[in-house]
Structure 1
Amino acid sequence: MKIIIVGAGIAGLSLAIALGQSGHQVTILDAAPQLAELGAGVQMTPQALRYLFRWGLKGDLLAESIIPENLHVWDGGSGKLLGHVRIKEMENQYGAPYIVVHRAVLHNILHRHAIKAGGELLLDSEVVEYDFANGAVQLRNGKRLTADLVVAADGINSLARSKLLGNKNPGSQPTGWAAFRMTAKVSKLKADPTTSSLVDLQSRSSNFWIAPQVSCMTYLIKDATLLNIVLTHRDDVDTRNLVADECRKIVRDLFKDFEPRVQRILDLSTPKIANYPVYSVPPLPSWAHESGRFVLMGDAAHAMAFYMSMGVSIAVEDAAALAAALDLACPLGSSFAFSNEADARRLKHALHVFETVRKPRAEAVQEASLHGGDSLHTSSEEERRLLYEALGHSHNDEIWPLENDTSNRGNSVQRCKSTGQRLGPGGITDKGTRDWCYNYDAIGAIEEYYKSSSAETLA
């Protein structure tokens, strides 16, 4: 099958790898004149790594990422340890590790493997128009490219989504949160007596300080030479026209009551600082065009808050799921022609399966991510008491509070509106939430639904 992928980000490159290894002819389009080193640290969860490892990226990823031993959660003001999550044990629990990696490093690895899998990358190729019915795109340079299928992985501000949905496109919406991001050199932190214990290069543990409405997350990246710092706060400050010193003044005011170790980390951070409002894409009416020749994926379809560290991982899940659906529609070694009615029906069915299976999953994780952020930063004294009690159990191999807990502890557990999945307090610190997020089998879900729905649909 001939497939065009619009967007050479993590979602698009992951899909190119999966499709290329299945023998599909893949062209990746990106508007940038060259691939640049953008972003800072990202965290990747086990269920996504299972697919990247399956595609042959294990050696490269493990060589250039970090597996923290623990995630320590502290009270922001007092510095008291509230609990910890044993991250290093997740490989045994979920079949792959939980890693932290610089976004540029991850992107470079994906790029290399996408090309290795046969993908053709065309840079300086901005798509300005879509012909959904005919599987075609129009580039700014005047070229028109056609394929059996066009997949748009063009990010949170997706042009493809706006063209597909028109006035039904909700666009990206503010979540109410924002985050200042900066880094600090580990050598400076290690040399300082206040922060030296936080950069244990043997355990490489991550640290997270929480308080009402603000938090500070830190983890090691770049072969443990940099500390990535993420400072969450309410999205009520417009920093677009502020210089770095003005942003730092805001940070100092927001975190003035945090313990000395956090203050010293801010003292020793590098000059570069940026504030990023956290946006999400609300559930869409559809991801695919009725023609069966176009579909959205990744942030274009379901951008989410980062409080479950699942945005990148869900994009990889999308890639694995869409590739599985297309492989079922057009198995390796078979021919495909959209002009053939049976082939066209199979492709339409594959997109139907992809959307039907993936939408509830993505929307559940979106809800869990925002719930995680809201619960960790709550100002309610009662909710914080229950959160802190839950954090005291976060290192245990048990779901707490128990499902049948009839005390007020049970009030700290909600249910996802779309799937009924558990939404415990504290995001990834809640084992029940981790279990349904990280044990998920994206390929298995596609295969099961494809087979159960194919007999009638493709008859």
Structure 2
Amino acid sequence: MASLEMFPDIEVLSQRHLPENNRTNIVVVGAGLGGLGAAIALLLAGHNVHVLESASQIGEVGAGIQALPNSSRVLIQWGLGPTLAKLATVPVQVEMLGWKGNAITQYDFGAATKEYGAPFWDFHRADLHGAMLDRARELGCTFQTKARVVDVDTSQMTSATVLLSSGEKIVADLVIGADGIHSKCREIMLGGPSPPVATGDLAYRVLLGTEGMQNDPDLAPFLKTHHVRYWMGPGAHAVSYVLRNGQQINVVLLVPDDMPAGASTVDGNVEEMQALFQQWDPRIPKLLQYCQSVQKWRLCFRPGLERPWSNEAGTFALLGDSVHATLPYLASGAGMALEDGAVLGHCFSRVSDKRTHAKKQALAVYEQCRRTRTERIVERGNVQQYLYHVDDGAEQEARDARFRAFAQIEKLVEEDGMSTAEIQLPDGLEIGSDPLAWRRFGVGSWLINYDCLADVQRNWLHLQSTEPQFRSSL
């Protein structure tokens, strides 16, 4: 169980109470982590939220998820800290390993937690999702299942109408498309098909029970040390971390995509998966002996959307994977969706009536805050794909040397109290080029240290100073 005592500076948001006639009536399409996050943030901002979910039940897949401090900070601000602290596993460090198990470098999460003022947390996705669902309901969210969206009519200037496959129509002041990487809302907004881009990788996602592992001298340390481990090899890599107080281990195996065209998820063959990693670090085949069944997931991404994220009238907008899906190689896909929701909430906390002008300003600031940041995350995820999958040889040796060189520089910063700006990097090393992306000379300084509210405040003022139509105060 995690402790929140280390994070007294994270302010928990209180729910704003607006007169009913002043509240924006918002429909969120999709009850995944992004949709629930948007719902929570908009409810805290004082508005009404109705969530539509196409499935017959609201739930999440059985897999793990890593929450970096920029994500956990948002979750704590939403009032989820005490609940999630009981559900989270707190990883101690990440180990970066060669495919044969040789140690390359590591990163201490404890030191980073102190620096960034928020925890690294690992969850079973269903635990995180369930806690967020409860929080949304507590704040007054309403839900509708078996609600498959087929169209969104934005012909009216002040509202949008959602059409469901059942024929039902739902009118809202604002519709948020948070329906994932294969988003129907995105297709509706763009006026046609908009498939994500295949990356050439697929993921085997495995959730293992740990009974019996404590008796194996090779696997027992996995349960005791709570380390995140990355093994990097030619054309593939593997990740493992502990969940639910050591009751489960989440394993993700990333390999070349051999799935049939058009498929996004298929049942995998356990023996085939095991064979792919038979020659790797012996601990991986040992872990995979505990696997009974597995699914394969095609990994895709979405490059930056050329058009705005919302329509001209400010009645329809996109959020999360529907607009910026990324490879999971920075552990930041869900985190970006949570940030989207937090930023959207902060923007709409400044909206106190249903005027079109107010919604358009809030959505303009939302996109201004999120567009460049999420595009950079998508781009860096693609860089990590290359870094994690380098073939053995000169490039791999140079990569490993960079891992180690930046580890020494990190040590200097921590021990001598030097700032990033004071460090003179050796020739050949640049800020941003640390292959362990979470460290400060990777992308940690801007990825993990992100402040949603400060970004909204900065961009709100900038928009008012540069766009004449938004100069009047709301």
Scaled by the length of structure 1, the TM-score of the pair is 0.88
Aligned sequence identity (%): 27
Correspondence 1:449 to 2:472: no
The amino acid of 1:126's aligned partner reads: R
The amino acid of 1:227's aligned partner reads: I
Larger CA deviation: 382-391 vs 93-102: 382-391
Correspondence 1:153 to 2:165: no
List 4+ stretches of structure 1 deviating above 6 A: 239-244
**Paired residues of 2:151 and 2:163 also in contact (CA < 8 A):** yes
Correspondence 1:277 to 2:294: no
The amino acid of 1:150's aligned partner reads: V
The amino acid of 1:272's aligned partner reads: S
Superposition pairs of residues 278-317 of structure 1, within 5 angstroms: 278-285=299-306, 286-317=308-339
Correspondence 1:174 to 2:198: yes
Which ranges in structure 2 are unaligned for 5 or more consecutive residues? 1-23, 414-419
Correspondence 1:198 to 2:206: no
Superposition pairs of residues 34-433 of structure 1, within 5 angstroms: 34-77=57-100, 79-133=101-155, 134-167=159-192, 170-200=194-224, 203-238=225-260, 247-267=269-289, 269-285=290-306, 286-330=308-352, 336-337=353-354, 343-379=355-391, 381-392=393-404, 393-394=406-407, 396-397=410-411, 405=425, 407=427, 409-410=428-429, 422-428=432-438, 431-433=441-443
Q: Distance in 1 between matches of 2:223 and 2:26?
A: 45
**Paired residues of 1:373 and 1:427 also in contact (CA < 8 A):** no
Query: Relative to 1, partners in 2 of residues 1:430 and 1:234: Cα closer, same or farther, differing over 3 Å?
Result: farther
Q: CA deviation at 1:370?
A: 1.5
**Paired residues of 1:397 and 1:431 also in contact (CA < 8 A):** no
String of CA shifts for 1:101-126, please: whole Å, max 9, x gaps: 01111110000000011111111222
Q: CA deviation at 1:359?
A: 0.8
Q: Distance in 2 between matches of 1:190 and 1:160?
A: 47
Q: CA deviation at 1:347?
A: 1.1
The amino acid of 2:316's aligned partner reads: F
**Paired residues of 2:152 and 2:162 also in contact (CA < 8 A):** yes
Q: CA deviation at 1:391?
A: 2.7
Q: Distance in 1 between matches of 2:246 and 2:279?
A: 28
The amino acid of 2:449's aligned partner reads: N
Q: Distance in 2 between matches of 1:84 and 1:448?
A: 35
Secondary structure of the 1:42 match is strand
Q: CA deviation at 1:386?
A: 2.5
Work out the number of aligned pairs and report it.
433
The amino acid of 2:170's aligned partner reads: L
Q: Distance in 1 between matches of 2:423 and 2:274?
A: 41
Q: CA deviation at 1:297?
A: 0.2
Secondary structure of the 1:163 match is helix
The amino acid of 2:305's aligned partner reads: L
**Paired residues of 1:394 and 1:430 also in contact (CA < 8 A):** no
The amino acid of 2:36's aligned partner reads: L
Q: CA deviation at 1:430?
A: 6.3
Q: Distance in 2 between matches of 1:311 and 1:241?
A: 17
Query: Relative to 1, partners in 2 of residues 1:398 and 1:120: Cα closer, same or farther, differing over 3 Å?
Result: farther
**CA RMSD, Structure 1 to Structure 2 (Å):** 2.5
Q: Distance in 2 between matches of 1:9 and 1:18?
A: 14
Q: CA deviation at 1:238?
A: 4.4
Secondary structure of the 2:340 match is helix
Counterpart of 2:4 in structure 1 is none
String of CA shifts for 1:123-170, please: whole Å, max 9, x gaps: 122211101243110112222111111111011110110011125x64
